[in-house]
Amino acid sequence: MALGCVPAQGGWNDEELARRHPALARDTEQRLIDAAPYFAPAEAALQLFLCRWSRRAPIGVSLPADASAGEQRALRVALAAWEGAGLGLRFTELSSRPAQIEIDFWQAERDPFTVSGAGNTVADCRLTGGLSRESASEPGAPAVAAELSYASIYLLREGVNTVGESVPYTEAQLAGAALHELGHALGFPGHVARGDSIMVRQLEVIVRHGAAVLDGHHFDDANLSALYALPSGSVVGRRAVDAGRLSVLWRIGERALEEGWQGPYVRVGERTAQLHWRGPEGQLAVLLERDWVGALRRPESFDLLPNRVAVSLLVGTGLDRN
Write the secondary structure of the chain as one string of H (helix), E (strand) and C (coil).
Answer: CCCCCCCCCCCCCCHHHHHHCHHHHHCCCCCHHHCCCEEEEECCEEEEECCCCCCCCCEEEECCCCCCHHHHHHHHHHHHHHHCCCCCCCEEECCCCCCCEEEEECCCCCCCCCCCCCEEEEEEEEECCCCCCCCCCCCCCCECCEEEEEEEEEECCEEECCCCCEEECCHHHHHHHHHHHHHHHCCCCCCCCCCCCCCCCCHHHHHHHHHHHHCCCCCCCHHHHHHHCCCCCEEEEEEECCHHHHHHHHHHHHHHHHCCCEEEEEEECCCCEEEEEECCCCCEEEEEECCHHHHHHCHHHCCCEECHHHHHHHCCCCHHHC
Mean pLDDT of 42-68: 95
pLDDT band at 228 (very low <50, low <70, confident <90, very high): very high
Mean pLDDT of the chain: 89
Main-chain dihedrals φ then ψ at residue 120, nearest 5 degrees: -150, 145
Of residues 158, 204, 201, the one with CA closest to residue 183: 201
pLDDT band at 124 (very low <50, low <70, confident <90, very high): very high
Query: 310 pLDDT exceeds 80?
Result: yes
pLDDT in the model for residue 17? 85
Of residues 150, 129, 124, the one with CA closest to residue 275: 124
pLDDT in the model for residue 160? 75
pLDDT in the model for residue 116? 59
Mean pLDDT of 247-258: 87
Mean pLDDT of 309-317: 79
Q: What's the CA dihedral at 297, 201, 144, 255 to 10 degrees?
A: 80
Mean pLDDT of 264-274: 94
pLDDT in the model for residue 79? 98
Query: 322 pLDDT exceeds 50?
Result: no
Bigger pLDDT: 152 vs 258:
152
Q: What's the CA dihedral at 234, 135, 287, 271 to 10 degrees?
A: -10
Most distant CA pair in the chain, distance: 61
Bigger pLDDT: 95 vs 141:
95
pLDDT in the model for residue 134? 66
Mean pLDDT of 238-261: 87
Mean pLDDT of 93-104: 95
Mean pLDDT of 37-50: 91
Q: Please tell us whether the domain made up of 59-128+143-228 is placed in CATH 3.40.390.
A: yes
pLDDT in the model for residue 165? 81
